[in-house]
Amino acid sequence: MPIVATLCHIIKDGNFLLQKKTKGLFGEGKWNGVGGRSKPDESPEECVKREVFEETGLKVLGLKFHGILNFYFGDREKLDWIVHVFSTINFEGEPKSSEEGDLKWFDFEEIPYEKMWGDDKYWLPLLFKGQHFRGNFYFDEKGEKLLDFSLKIAKTDKRTPKLKRKNPRVTAS
């Protein structure tokens, strides 16, 4: 059964917060967004708020859901991780590093992709644009090399009516 987890990118003033995972933990030495495994009967939103608080001390006040990423390690038939991806610009507090890893703010122009998971460079720019996506990423057994992937950008909901006024009527009050 796959592990269900969450990931949150915290954004402030043109920067975003990354965590360098502590040695001995899954993803050790890699810079990543904040998040972790869901508890039984916990919604993705509840999980990500809890994880952000536990790992950074920040209280999330609002979330934007971006999509789901599926991860496969080694055996391509077996799904290992299902990750619900969020971002936020609304939070309280000052970030504090934890046992999970050190925290650092990065400028959007200085993203350390070479020190991150191999999939991040494909979907993270979509998150920064506010887009929704869904992806499948296939790594070698150790998670060191991205072998293959598929990534789909969610389209605009066609049920949402668009305002098509060429000459809107303006009335004086």
Would residue 164 count as lying in a domain? no
The 3-class SS string of 19-34 reads: EEECCCCCCCCCEECE
pLDDT in tens, 18-37: 999 888 888 788 999 999 99
Give me the domain span that covers residue 23: 3-153
Would residue 169 count as lying in a domain? no
- Is the pLDDT at 160 greater than 60? The verdict is no
Would residue 161 count as lying in a domain? no
Domain count across the chain = 1
Q: Residue 28 half-sphere exposure, CB side, CA atoms within 13 Å?
A: 6
pLDDT in tens, 137-147: 999 999 999 99
**Number of CB atoms found within 10 A of residue 108's CB:** 12
pLDDT in tens, 73-122: 997 788 999 999 999 999 999 999 999 899 999 998 899 999 999 999 99
- Cβ within 8 Å of residue 148, ≥6 positions away: 137, 138
CATH of the domain at 96: 3.90.79.10
Residue 75: the pLDDT is 76
Would residue 131 count as lying in a domain? yes
Would residue 127 count as lying in a domain? yes
Give SS3 for 66: strand
d(CA 40, CA 24): 24
Would residue 168 count as lying in a domain? no
Would residue 173 count as lying in a domain? no
Would residue 49 count as lying in a domain? yes
Closest C-alpha among 152, 18, 150, 21 to residue 95: 18
Handedness of CA 75, 32, 69, 107 (dihedral sign): negative
The two three-digit tokens of residue 111, written as one number: 């993203």
Per the CB < 8 A criterion, the answer to whether 150 and 136 are in contact is yes
